[in-house]
């Protein structure tokens, strides 16, 4: 069983990502979309939420980081950028999707 | 102009994920057209509204970030950014748009609109307002 988790809220405004990381099983995938992409930036005081979650794979939706003026060079190490096609592929390659709000 | 009120708009939301940022900008422009004394504060995720280089072509939403550069033309030139909010997000003033206005009393000299202030300073500024609207 593998789950794709999507998170669409900024970790600086809501605790959605923290809940997702706490409740996602080892080996799961987390895709940050919409305002969730702010959580993928390095150098902030909440960057550790992702940096400490070593058992999960993190992805970020490219069009959403571009929309918000965030450079790929500022992402936390290890986060992969995907486009809409990549989003679909992640959906297909996992058994189910959990959308955290 | 003696009856002009001091309006403060507090912006706390990131752009695009919700409509708050765009709605605030619309209300600010309307207020400015009525010759009120307008100030803006960007705190918490609101600081993301002013990020440079926003490009929304792939998400199909209007990029309203260029509109902030027009605020100076509406005499909206008191734009406060909370220092603590920037720092918490690993941002500096260089990550934000450079917003300016032209001072009519000094031969249209170009001046910075943005002032980075501490929480304590911002609290003092809020105390001086007649009307505060939060988005």
What is the domain count for chain A?
1
pTM score, whole prediction = 0.95
Phi/psi at A69 (5° precision):
75, 25
Which CATH number is A61's domain given? 3.40.1260.10
Predicted confidence (pLDDT) per residue in B35-45, tens digit: 889 999 999 99
Q: Which chain A residue has the Cα nearest residue B52? A: A69
- pLDDT, residue A63, reads 98
Q: Which residues of B touch A (CB under 8 A)?
A: 13-18, 44-45, 48, 51-59, 61, 63, 65, 87-91, 95
Predicted confidence (pLDDT) per residue in B56-66, tens digit: 999 999 999 99
Contacts of B18 in chain A (CB under 8 A): 35
Q: What is the rounded CA–CA span in Å between residue B39 and residue B32? A: 10
* Number of Cβ pairs < 8 A linking chain A and chain B: 73
Q: Are A46 and A39 in contact (CB under 8 A)?
A: yes
Predicted confidence (pLDDT) per residue in A37-50, tens digit: 999 999 999 999 99
DSSP one-letter code for A76: P
Contacts of B59 in chain A (CB under 8 A): 63-64, 66-67
- pLDDT, residue A85, reads 98
Contacts of B127 (CB under 8 A, 6+ apart): none
Q: Are A34 and B15 in contact (CB under 8 A)?
A: no
Q: Which domain holds residue A64?
A: 3-100
Q: What is the rounded CA–CA span in Å between residue A29 and residue A94? A: 8
Q: Is A10 on the interface with B (CB under 8 A)?
A: yes
Categorise residue B52: left if φ over 0, alpha if ψ from -120 to 50, beta otherwise: beta
Q: Which chain B residue has the Cα nearest residue A37? A: B17
Q: Which residue numbers in chain A have pLDDT < 50?
A: none
Contacts of B96 (CB under 8 A, 6+ apart): B47, B50, B51, B52, B81, B114
Q: What is the rounded CA–CA span in Å between residue B119 and residue B10? A: 13
CATH code for the part of the protein at B6-134: 3.40.1260.10
- Mean pLDDT, chain B, as a whole number? 95
Contacts of A38 in chain B (CB under 8 A): 14, 45, 48, 89
């Amino acid at each position: 069983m593998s789950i794709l988790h999507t998170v669409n809220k900024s970790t600086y405004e809501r605790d959605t990502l923290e809940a997702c990381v706490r409740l996602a099983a080892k080996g799961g995938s987390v895709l940050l979309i919409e305002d969730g992409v702010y959580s993928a930036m390095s150098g902030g005081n909440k960057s550790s939420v992702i940096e400490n979650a070593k058992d999960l794979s993190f992805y970020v939706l490219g069009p959403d980081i571009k929309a918000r003026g965030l450079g790929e060079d500022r992402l936390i190490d290890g986060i992969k950028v995907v486009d809409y096609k990549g989003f679909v592929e992640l959906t297909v390659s996992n058994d189910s999707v959990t959308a955290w709000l | 102009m003696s009856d002009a009120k001091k309006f403060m708009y507090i912006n706390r939301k990131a752009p695009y994920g919700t409509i708050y940022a765009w709605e605030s900008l619309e209300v600010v422009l309307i207020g400015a057209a009525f010759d009120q004394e307008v100030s803006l504060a960007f705190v918490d995720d609101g600081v993301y509204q002013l990020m440079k280089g926003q490009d929304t072509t792939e998400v199909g939403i209007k990029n309203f970030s260029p509109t902030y550069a027009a605020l100076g033309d509406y005499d909206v030139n008191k734009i406060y950014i909370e220092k603590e909010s920037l720092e918490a997000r690993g941002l500096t003033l260089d990550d934000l748009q450079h917003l300016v206005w032209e001072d009519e009393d000094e031969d249209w000299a170009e001046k910075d609109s943005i002032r980075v202030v501490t929480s304590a300073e911002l609290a003092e500024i809020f105390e001086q307002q007649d009307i505060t609207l939060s988005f």
